[in-house]
Amino acid sequence: MTTLALKYRPRLLSDLVGQEGSVKALANALRRAKESGRIHQAYLFAGVRGTGKTSTARILARALNCVEGPTATPCGVCDPCRAAEQPDQNLDIVEIDAASRASVADARALREQVQTRPAFCRYRVYIIDEVHMLSTEAFNALLKVIEEPPPHAIFVLATTELQDVPDTIKSRVQIFPFRLIPVGLIEGRLKHVCEQEGVEAESGSLRLVAEAGQGSMRDALTILDRVIAAGDGKVLEEAVREQLGIVSAHLVQGVMSALAIGDTAALVEACRELNEQGADWATFWRELVLAFRDRLEQEARAARGPQDLLRWARMLQLLLSRERDLRDSSLPRVVVELALVTAAQLPHLAPLDALVSGAPGRGSSPAAGPPPVPSKGPQAAPAPEGPRRPTPAAPQAPAPAQTRAQASLPAGPPPPPQLRMACSEALRAVPGLRTLGTAPQMATDLRWEPPVLRFRFPGNVRQTLQDLEREQANPHVLAALAAVLPGLKRLELHFDEGPAGAQTDRPEDRLRQEPGFQELLRLSGGEVLEIRREG
For 73-122, the pLDDT digits (tens) are 888 888 888 888 776 777 888 888 888 877 888 888 888 888 888 888 88
The pTM assigned to this predicted structure is 0.57
User: In this structure, are residues 422 and 406 in contact, taking their beta carbons and an 8 Å threshold?
Assistant: yes
Query: Which residue from 142, 87, 94 is spatially nearest to 116, judged by alpha carbons?
Result: 94
The mean pLDDT value of the chain amounts to 79
Q: What is the pLDDT of residues 397-453, one digit of tens each?
A: 444 444 444 444 555 566 778 888 888 888 888 877 777 878 888 888 888 888 899
> How many other β-carbons are positioned within 10 Å of the β-carbon of residue 357?
10
CATH number attached to the domain at 183-244: 1.10.8.60
Q: What is the pLDDT of residue 153?
A: 92
Q: What is the pLDDT of residues 180-194, one digit of tens each?
A: 999 899 999 999 999
Q: Check residue 218 and give its pLDDT.
A: 92
Pick one of 1.10.1040.10, 3.40.50.1480, 3.40.50.300, 3.40.50.720 as the CATH number of 4-178: 3.40.50.300
Give the pLDDT confidence of 514-527 residue by residue, as tens digits: 666 666 766 665 65
**DSSP letter at 8?**
T
Closest CA to 479 of 455, 459, 453: 453
Q: Residue 339: how many CA atoms within 13 Å on its side-chain side?
A: 26
Q: What is the mean pLDDT of residues 237-258?
A: 81
pLDDT (mean) for 112-134: 88
SS3 content of the chain, % helix, strand, coil (to 5): 55, 10, 35
Instruction: Indicate the burial class of 248 (C-beta count within 10 angstroms; 0-12, 13-18, 19 or more).
Output: middle
User: Between 183-197 and 205-212, two packed helices, what is the crossing angle to 10 degrees?
Assistant: 120
DSSP assignment of 150-178, as one string?
-TTEEEEEEES-GGGS-HHHHTTSEEEEE
User: Which residues have a Cβ under 8 Å from the Cβ of 196 and sit 6 or more positions away?
Assistant: 8
Note whether 4-178 and 183-244 share their fold: no
CA distances from 238 to 223, 226, 467 (A): 14, 13, 65
Q: What are the distances in angstroms from CA 47 to CA 138, 175, 280, 295, 383?
A: 22, 11, 28, 31, 67
Q: How many Cα atoms are found within 13 Å in the side-chain-facing hemisphere of 37?
A: 0
Q: How far apart are CA 460 and CA 353, in angstroms?
A: 36
Q: Is the distance from CB of 436 to CB of 474 less than 8 angstroms?
A: no
Q: Where are the domains of the chain?
A: 4-178, 183-244, 249-348, 383-389+398-524
Look at residue 522 in the predicted model and tell me its pLDDT: 62
Cβ(494)–Cβ(455) below 8 Å: yes
249-348 has CATH 1.20.272 classification = yes
pLDDT of 394 > 80? The answer is no
The CA distance from 44 to 162, in Å, is: 9
**pLDDT at 12 exceeding the cut of 70:** yes
Q: What is the dihedral of CA 426, 427, 428, 434, to 10 degrees?
A: 170
